[in-house]
Each structure stands twice: as structure tokens, then as C-alpha cells.
A and B are shown apart, each in its own frame.
Chain A
Amino acid sequence: SAVISQKPSRDICQRGTSLTIQCQVDSQVTMMFWYRQQPGQSLTLIATANQGSEATYESGFVIDKFPISRPNLTFSTLTVSNMSPEDSSIYLCSVLVWGTDYEQYFGPGTRLTVT
């Protein structure tokens, strides 16, 4: 398994500002992901962040809006830029680890409210 922590756990931000969310894992992992869960919705993948390469974004998400850093195998950041109320969501970091098979775990999430 993997223990994942995120900072901040929640924040209230003003429209037009940016917020950087940090994700820390207790072990080295190759594959790390950022998901978004809008109110009342299921989880949607934003991007895959692998160390040593640029993040791969899913359709509908762009680097200018959601820049990602992955400086090492235990840490990543996601920035939500130029925020609008539509960005109000829970943002979750996730990692893929090898146990008896590939298993995927989620961090506690960051609840973002944009006013």
C-alpha cells in the first residue's frame, strides 16, 4: 500500500487567483495521477504525472490551467490557475503501486471553493 498526504486539505480562494496543491507519498512511485471530483460527480482524471517527463493531460484539461510538477518519485504539485467558481472541486492525488498486483490509492483530497 501507500500513504499519501495532501496540502492544503481545504481552501477558499478568490476568482482569478491560483492555488498550488501538494502531494507527498511515503514511498517512491513511478506513476502518479491527479483527479478532480466536482460536487455530486464521480472522479475525472486531469493528468498523469510521471517523474522525468512532462505530464500527460486528458481531454478537456490543459497545462496552462493545471500546471503540474513532479520533481522526484515521492512528490508532485498541481496548480489550479486563474480560478473561477467552476473550479470548485475536490482535487485528489493518486498513485499506482505494485503489491500482489497493481493497486491504486488516493490521497485525502483538497477541497477547493472558489468565490
Chain B
Amino acid sequence: EDKVVQSPLSLVVHEGDTVTLNCSYEVTNFRSLLWYKQEKKAPTFLFMLTSSGIEKKSGRLSSILDKKELFSILNITATQTGDSAIYLCAVGSSNTGKLIFGQGTTLQVKP
């Protein structure tokens, strides 16, 4: 059965800290791995990763995929209170477009 597992499930840090969120997966016909940020309702797209070892970066956020070890990490440097959210990892299987989501990591950044 396809599954996506995120860790930790929750995390509390202080502003300025660096955090690393983990996502491991077992999915047949892997196509891509996506990271989303969810604050209130709709998840907001952050990154899509398809190739191993190529870091994607957007401001203080970066992510990388390891297709051999079947995991990805999302790094956030110099965290701010606005980074407080649920971070979701999802894996797309083949060309169906279906996404399998992990449980999410709830990040709280304290002032």
C-alpha cells in the first residue's frame, strides 16, 4: 500500500531557528514529490521535486529529494512567526495526477 510518512508530527521553535522537516515515502510509479504549506484552509504550493540531489530554493525555504533512499527534506532557515503552519508532503504516482499526502508537520514558531 502506498504511504507517505512525515516527521516530526509537530515542532515548536523560536524565531531565528533553522528547522528540517522530513518526508519518507513508499509509492509505486513515483512521479514527483510536492511540499505544501497550509495555514487556514487551502494548501499553498511550495515545491515540486522530481530529480534526486537537485535542491530547490525559495527565499528561506529549500528542499531536496533522495529517490534512492525515498525521502525528502524541507529546510526553513531563520524562521519567523509567519512560518507557523502545517507543512504537507505529497507524492504523485505515475501520470494519474493523484497525490498521496503525509500526515503533515505542525510547526509553531514562537517570538
Interface residues on B, range: 20 to 34
Determine if B97 and A92 form an interchain contact, defined as CB atoms under 8 angstroms apart: no
Name B's A-contacting residues (CB within 8 A): 31-32, 34, 36, 41-45, 48, 50, 88, 90, 92, 96-104
A residues engaging B (CB < 8 A)?
1, 31, 33, 41-45, 48, 90, 92, 94, 96, 101-109, 111
The reply to whether B92 and A104 contact each other, CB–CB distance below 8 Å, is: yes
> Given known contacts A101-B32, A104-B92, is B101 in contact with A92 (CB within 8 Å)?
no
* Interfacial chain B residues near A103, Cβ < 8 Å: 45, 48
Picked from B99, B102, B103, the residue with its CB within 8 Å of the CB of A104 is B99
Instruction: Find the B residue at minimum CB distance from A1.
Output: B45
Instruction: Sort A-B residue pairs by CB-CB distance and give the 10 closest, nearest first.
Output: A109-B41, A96-B97, A31-B97, A42-B101, A106-B42, A43-B101, A108-B42, A109-B42, A106-B43, A42-B103
